[in-house]
């Protein structure tokens, strides 16, 4: 293995470790505080950022891409959230084959309640990871990313 490949592999391992640490920390905080998994929170968050009107809704395949899950795993997750009254599905008015998903008022309320927990857990996880020299450059890079524009 060439030296540059070794560095690339080590960088990938560090990135994976950072992701796993952050996700586990946030998972514990969301589960204990709000009964939500990281994936459930992500689905609610992504869907809550939809704009009203035609062309601004996610089909299941688009939602799966947005939350980085398989389509079948996304469908199971949406089913669970719908059973809890946090999401609702409806047929696309222009294409009866399309099914859209949107956050209910209860889902928005839970998301609003959970967002500060998610954000605090993310900050805590980054602070902890920053103490590990192999993760410090990645934490610095994450913190330097520009915030996306909010639509809500």
Q: What is the mean pLDDT of residues 134-144?
A: 95
- What is the reported pTM? 0.86
For residue 23, being part of any structural domain is answered with yes
For residue 148, being part of any structural domain is answered with no
For residue 27, being part of any structural domain is answered with yes
User: From CA 85, how far away is CA 105, in angstroms rounded?
Assistant: 9
* pLDDT of residue 2 exceeding 60: no
Into how many domains does the chain fold?
Answer: 1
**Both tokens assigned to 96:** 């009866």
Q: What is the pLDDT of residue 49?
A: 87
* pLDDT tens digit sequence for 106-118: 999 999 999 999 9
For residue 151, being part of any structural domain is answered with no
Q: What is the pLDDT of residue 152?
A: 47
For residue 91, being part of any structural domain is answered with yes
The answer to whether 29 touches 121, Cβ cutoff 8 Å, is yes
* pLDDT tens digit sequence for 123-137: 999 999 999 999 999
Report the CATH number at residue 89. 1.10.10.10
Q: What is the pLDDT of residue 7?
A: 84
For residue 147, being part of any structural domain is answered with no
* pLDDT tens digit sequence for 43-102: 999 999 886 555 557 788 889 999 999 999 999 999 999 999 999 988 877 777 778 888
Q: What is the pLDDT of residue 58?
A: 79
For residue 7, being part of any structural domain is answered with yes
Domain that holds residue 7: 3-140
For residue 152, being part of any structural domain is answered with no
- Range of weakest confidence among 2-6, 97-101, 103-107, 143-147: 2-6
* pLDDT tens digit sequence for 27-54: 999 999 999 999 999 999 999 988 655 5
């Amino acid at each position: 293995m060439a030296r540059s490949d070794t560095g690339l592999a080590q960088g990938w391992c560090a990135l994976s470790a950072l992701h796993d640490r952050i996700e586990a920390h946030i998972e514990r905080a969301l589960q204990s505080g709000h009964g939500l998994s990281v994936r459930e929170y992500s689905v609610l968050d992504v869907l809550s950022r939809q704009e009203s009107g035609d062309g601004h809704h996610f089909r299941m395949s688009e939602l799966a891409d947005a939350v980085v899950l398989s389509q079948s795993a996304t469908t199971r997750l949406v089913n669970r959230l719908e059973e809890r009254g946090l999401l609702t599905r409806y047929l696309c008015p222009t294409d009866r084959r399309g099914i859209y998903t949107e956050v209910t008022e209860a889902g928005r309320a839970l998301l609003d309640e959970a967002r500060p927990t998610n954000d605090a857990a993310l900050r805590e996880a980054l602070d902890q990871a920053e103490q590990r020299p192999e993760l410090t450059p990645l934490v610095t890079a994450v913190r330097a990313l520009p915030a996306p524009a909010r639509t809500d």
